[in-house]
Structure 1
Amino acid sequence: CNAFSEIHGLTPCYTLNGSVLKDASDTISLDLCSCDFNADGYRLPTEAEWEYAARKTISGMQSGLTASGQVDKYGKEDTSIPEEEVSWSASNAHGSHKVGTAGSPFTEDAPPVAGSGNPNGMGLFDMSGNVCEFVWDWSGRYIESEPGERASGPEAGSERVSRGGSWSEYTPFIYAGDRYSYDPNECYNYLGFRFVRTVK
């Protein structure tokens, strides 16, 4: 995230003792770093930000017991829309796809174009399924925050939360409210991430 921020002339978010992190292999520093949420650079979303993006619709919030995007044109929950129309899951995929393709026809000889599928209520693609997405928060119980404060989970931990489920049979729970957690040093072909930015 920091490198991508610097490439685009933005202020990096992740620092340790005031120094911008530049070595992605220095896992101890990465685990101990802090995030400047006011910086305009790229970062991982908090768990609360991720869930808001997965559940927000034009008419409110969809249930956490449905795949992100299982809503009608009015933003109302619509479980008659098949999960396969909004997500790459164990039932319709055997690997990850370009982001923004869920719901578009897929054949090995004609892969879908990114952005060709069905978005969720906020216009975002593949919030459910495809790959489990790491977020900033360490895994733990939900922590209450005061109104106006940023909810960002425990200050330390051994596993970071990942959300959205994936195409893999090992992480099949793709509903907007489902949670997983992994050591951030683990690497599987069904784990990924999504960048966000704080825009003022």
Structure 2
Amino acid sequence: TSDEDCVIEYRNGKYQPKSGYENHPVIEVSWFGAMAYAEWAGKRLPTEAEWEKAAIGGLVGKKCPWGDSIDSSRANYGENVGQTTPVGRYPPNNYGLYDMGGNVCEWVSDWYGEDYYSSSDSYRNPQGPNYGSERVIRGAGWSHDARYLRCASRNYVNPDSTSNHLGFRCAKSP
């Protein structure tokens, strides 16, 4: 079968991005696939708390990775472009990280618990619940509306889910 949203193809004996997608984020990957890649690369998925701290980029008290205003010149969202864009098309946040608001929403390591953070007694990098049926995704994808650009915005999906606006980024343990 073929997936029209998949931008990876088997060519010259190996899997590679389709021409023109070399610098786009990986999409159509499940939480399990993201975890497997991170482990293979000697890294891991960030926790939800780590992701949010990275998205804020040192701008404590601000709503978006670049400040308080919603700005289409800063992120790919709301179907403005209609697909992912190359990483680096929009300016990085204060930590030098690209696309923390927009382009793809991202898997994190945590299970989803609706009220976990209001009931958790861990305030320093809480790890989320020990079990669940959905995994947390953070950030906004290219097809999401502006409310998902907020650094604190969170959502959840089944860990088997894949989508053309869902990807991941890896974290490195200190």
Task: State whether TM-score is above 0.5.
Answer: yes
Q: Which residue of 2 aligns with 1:180?
A: 155
Mean Cα displacement is larger for which, 87-96 or 118-127? 87-96
1:178 is aligned with what amino acid?
A: S
Mean Cα displacement is larger for which, 171-180 or 120-129? 171-180
Residue 162 (str. 1) matches residue 137 (str. 2) = yes
| Structure-2 change in CA distance of 1:97 and 1:145 (3 Å) | farther
Q: 1:151 aligns with which of 126, 131, 143?
A: 126
Q: Which residue of 1 aligns with 2:72?
A: 84
| Structure-2 change in CA distance of 1:89 and 1:170 (3 Å) | closer
In the TM superposition, what is the alpha-carbon distance from 1:92 to its structure 2 partner?
Answer: 2.4
Q: 1:68 aligns with which of 53, 57, 65?
A: 65
Unpaired runs of at least 5, structure 1:
1-23, 31-35, 71-76, 103-117
In the TM superposition, what is the alpha-carbon distance from 1:85 to its structure 2 partner?
Answer: 2.4
Contact kept? 2:147, 2:153, Cα under 8 Å? no
2:60 is aligned with what amino acid?
A: M
What's the TM-score once normalised by structure 1's chain length? 0.60
Corresponding residue pairs, total: 138
Matches of 2:95 and 2:171, distance apart in 1: 14
In the TM superposition, what is the alpha-carbon distance from 1:179 to its structure 2 partner?
Answer: 0.7
2:166 is aligned with what amino acid?
A: L
1:144 is aligned with what amino acid?
A: S
Ranked by relative contact order (alpha carbons within 8 Å, sequence separation 6 or more), the top structure is 2
Matches of 1:145 and 1:100, distance apart in 2: 38
What's the TM-score once normalised by structure 2's chain length? 0.68
Q: Between Structure 1 and Structure 2, whose CA radius of gyration is higher?
A: 1
Matches of 1:196 and 1:86, distance apart in 2: 23
Per-residue CA distance 1:132-179 (angstroms, 9 max, x = gap): 1010001112153446x5411001111111111111147862211111
Contact kept? 1:67, 1:86, Cα under 8 Å? no
Q: Which residue of 2 aligns with 1:43?
A: 44
Unpaired runs of at least 5, structure 2:
1-28
Matches of 1:170 and 1:162, distance apart in 2: 15
Percent of pairs with identical residues: 37
Mean Cα displacement is larger for which, 82-91 or 155-164? 82-91
